[in-house]
Amino acid sequence: MLAVGLGISMNCFADSDQDFESKYFEVMDDANLAQIKKYQFSEKHKNSTLSEADKVEEKMLDCLALKTELSFYQLVNNNPDAYVQYMKKQGLDFSYNAEKFKNGIYEVDQKLKSSGCTN
């Protein structure tokens, strides 16, 4: 019975570990896309005065980047053990600091509010 329970437990952990990795990759992909879009916008409009439509687009891109950053902090804060395990699998010695991630959530949330971004 112990072996069966342990096997089930390990499968559940593996599933939750894979679920975390899947969510992590999704968040990181979203963050990368947001940064690329911001960079492309910046390069396209370098040395030019922005029209009102461009200013709206720039704000939208800034909000998108902030929202993806918030998603990262929330994912890690809600899954600290899975994050540490994932980092170890990547060969990184990382310890979770709850205060750091809660501060990150707070700071990004404040930036979202002050910039007029809606959650």
Domain that holds residue 59: 18-114
Work out the number of other CB atoms within 10 angstroms of the CB of residue 78. 12
Take residue 93 and report the two structure tokens written for it.
């010695």
Work out the number of other CB atoms within 10 angstroms of the CB of residue 83. 19
Take residue 12 and report the two structure tokens written for it.
């559940």
pLDDT of residue 93: 83
Tell me if 25 is assigned to some domain. yes
Could you report the average pLDDT of every consecutive run of 10 residues in the chain (119 residues)? 42 66 96 96 95 95 95 94 92 87 93 86
pLDDT of residue 96: 85
Tell me if 10 is assigned to some domain. no
pLDDT of residue 24: 96
pLDDT of residue 119: 58
Tell me if 11 is assigned to some domain. no
Tell me if 52 is assigned to some domain. yes
The stretches of the chain forming alpha helices (DSSP H) are 2-44, 52-78, 80-89, 98-114
Tell me if 1 is assigned to some domain. no
Tell me if 13 is assigned to some domain. no
The C-alpha atoms of residue 59 and residue 113 are separated, in whole angstroms, by: 13
Cβ neighbors of 31 (< 8 A, separation 6 or more) are 65, 68, 69, 71, 72
Number of domains in the chain: 1
pTM: 0.79
Tell me if 67 is assigned to some domain. yes
Tell me if 5 is assigned to some domain. no
